[in-house]
Amino acid sequence: MHKSVLLAASLVFASPANAWGPIGHRITGAIADENLSGLARANVRVLLGSEDLAEAATWPDDMKSNPDPLWQTQASPWHYVTVGGDDYRPSDTPPTGDAMTALSRFTATLRDPKAEADDKRQALRFIVHIIGDLHQPLHAGNGADRGGNSVTVTWFGKPSNLHSVWDSALIEQRSLSYSEYAAWLSRSVTPNEIITWSERDPAVWIHESIALRKSIYPAAPALSWDYAYEHRQDIDDRLKRAGIRIAAYLNWVFDTPLPDPNQASPVLSQK
């Protein structure tokens, strides 16, 4: 193999796992922005100022090179879950935490009237990002192949892995900006879909991702037009659902009175 190809392959496999690339996360944030309630929109504006949810959605990935120990030793597991069966269970939670535990913690911060504004701002950005992450099917991994990172494929003849294909290659293959893609998808979302998809239990999102994950492993490693065509509707569906659910979740966070401390948080409910 030519040295340049080997180098490209090594860079692909050495890179950390990100659920959706920047375009995918911005798409989910842009769709969410359009579906916020008035109260949620006002609260988001108070925390983020001119920064919209499309910009906030990529922040946790943008910060991964920050030398602070938070980013170098703690935050990496907050982007995914590893699930042994078809549904997330408390026993699936590792000691280091995962996307589910992070979502619960950041939700508590965002709903805490005593939390500092900077902490709430960070929590909001992470919530937007994590909800997007949990809709990428390979971020509900089975624990056997690093969420598809160890599954070697080629994408239109270039070395890659299955995780990277779902993070960004399938999206970038459409040759649309995030705003074009988001507008395109938003126009296709029906009122009935908004009602049906406004499900704020992350266990439901994970269950859907696992079901889809089982169908996306290719029979042969050479992926191109056929694979893109086969899964185009799948990836569009996950992006749309993620956007609608980010909005539904934030609407609940900001519109719903604080719960009775003796009752379980909806974030921790399990199917």
- Number of Cβ within 10 Å of residue 236's Cβ equals 18
Cβ atoms of 32 and 247 within 8 Å: the answer is yes
Total-model pTM:
0.88
Pull the structure tokens for residue 162.
Answer: 């299955």
Nearest to 214, CA basis, from 270, 170, 162: 162
Residue with tokens 């086969």: 230
φ, ψ (nearest 5 deg) of residue 166: -80, -30
Distance CA 178, CA 57 (A): 12
Give me the pLDDT at residue 261, please. 57
Cβ atoms of 77 and 94 within 8 Å: the answer is yes
Q: Would you call 140 helix, strand, or coil by DSSP?
A: strand
Residue with tokens 């994950």: 213
Cβ atoms of 187 and 252 within 8 Å: the answer is no
Distance CA 145, CA 147 (A): 5
Per-residue pLDDT of the chain (271 residues; tens, 9 = 90+): 443 333 333 333 333 455 689 999 999 999 999 999 999 999 999 999 999 999 999 999 898 888 988 888 888 899 999 998 999 998 889 999 999 999 999 999 999 999 999 999 999 999 999 999 999 999 999 999 999 999 999 999 999 999 999 999 999 999 999 999 999 999 999 999 999 999 999 999 999 999 999 999 999 999 999 999 999 999 999 999 999 999 999 999 999 776 555 665 555 444 4
Angle at 41 between CA 75 and CA 120, to 5 degrees: 30
Give me the pLDDT at residue 13, please. 35
Q: Which fold has domain 3-268?
A: P1 Nuclease (1.10.575)
Nearest to 23, CA basis, from 50, 72, 67, 58: 58
Give me the pLDDT at residue 18, please. 58
Give me the pLDDT at residue 214, please. 95
The residue ranges of every structural domain in the chain are: 3-268
Nearest to 17, CA basis, from 141, 158, 181: 141
Cβ atoms of 254 and 200 within 8 Å: the answer is no
Give me the pLDDT at residue 84, please. 86
Q: DSSP letter string over 58-95? A: THHHHGGG--SHIIIIISGGGG-EE-SSSS--GGG--T
Q: How far is CA 33 from CA 2, 3, 50, 83, 139, in A?
A: 46, 45, 12, 30, 23
